[in-house]
Chains A and B, each alone.
Chain A
Amino acid sequence: QKEVEQNSGPLSVPEGAIASLNCTYSDRGSQSFFWYRQYSGKSPELIMFIYSNGDKEDGRFTAQLNKASQYVSLLIRDSQPSDSATYLCAVDSGGGADGLTFGKGTHLIIQP
């Protein structure tokens, strides 16, 4: 059974600070890793994806992957109130179009 674990939160971060979101996964064969943002009542929106060990930066967002530790994280710099949402970590182990395994999400609150 593939599992993706996230701290449900809420994680409260002051505006302008760095928010750090973490995710661990059980399947060592996992190949692709995704972060989705989901506002309350809305569908998930893709923020970042990462395939290789190390860091990947896109604007204020940085995804970090450590396959040896089976750990992926998302950093949000200069956090804004509009970043307040639930962040879902998703993992693909199949190497193709057979569905993702999602964590339950971390609820992030940016305090003005």
Chain B
Amino acid sequence: DGGITQSPKYLFRKEGQNVTLSCEQNLNHDAMYWYRQDPGQGLRLIYYSQIVNDFQKGDIAEGYSVSREKKESFPLTVTSAQKNPTAFYLCASSIFGLDTQYFGPGTRLTVL
């Protein structure tokens, strides 16, 4: 059963903590992405990776970090430097060279 999984579904963070959001895909897609969605807003690109061990900043990378050690996995760390991290975080993937993206179920992060 192919798809994209994200965990956890809900995450609560205290001020000053770093948290890591998981994204795994078994679609054999080369490219993976992280987006952030705020209420009533469109999706904004945080980071993307087209190939293992390589990634690029998107429009709102400040306060976030990523790694791409395996093709299947693209975890996102929300650091304490991100001043307003409460949002819905969406991971997506696509076949390299094609721009059609498919999304995971998302992680809702709340800062307490």
Chain A interfacial positions (CB closer than 8 Å to B): 4, 8, 32, 34, 36, 42-46, 49, 88, 90, 92, 94-105
Q: Tell whether, in the assembled complex, residue B106 and residue A43 are in contact, meaning their CB atoms are under 8 Å apart.
A: yes
Residue of A nearest to B107 (CB): A43
Name the A residues within 8 Å of B101 (CB-CB).
Answer: 34, 46, 100
Q: How many angstroms from the CA of A100 to the CA of B33 in the assembled complex?
A: 10
Add 13 more A-B contacts to A97-B30, A98-B56 (CB < 8 A).
A4-B42, A32-B100, A36-B103, A43-B90, A46-B101, A90-B43, A97-B31, A97-B48, A97-B96, A97-B97, A100-B45, A100-B99, A102-B35
Given known A-B contacts A43-B90, A97-B30, A102 and B100 have beta carbons under 8 A apart: no
Q: How large is the interface on B (under 10, 10 to 19, 20 to 34, 35 or more residues)?
A: 20 to 34
Within 8 Å CB of B25, what residues of A? none
**A98 and B97 contact, Cβ closer than 8 Å, known pairs A42-B105, A43-B106, A104-B41:** no
Q: Is the CB of B43 within 8 A of A88?
A: yes
Q: Could you write out 19 A-B pairs with CB less than 8 Å apart?
A: A32-B100, A34-B101, A42-B105, A43-B103, A43-B106, A44-B43, A44-B90, A46-B101, A46-B102, A88-B43, A92-B99, A97-B30, A97-B31, A97-B98, A99-B33, A102-B42, A102-B43, A103-B42, A105-B42
Pair A46/B99 contact, Cβ less than 8 Å: no
In contact, B48 and A88 (Cβ under 8 angstroms): no
A8 and B56 in contact, given A97-B30, A97-B99 (Cβ under 8 angstroms)? no
| Interface hub of A4, A45, A92 (most chain B Cβ within 10 A) | A92
CA distance A100 to B92 in the complex (A): 11
A8 proximity list for chain B (CB < 8 A): 40
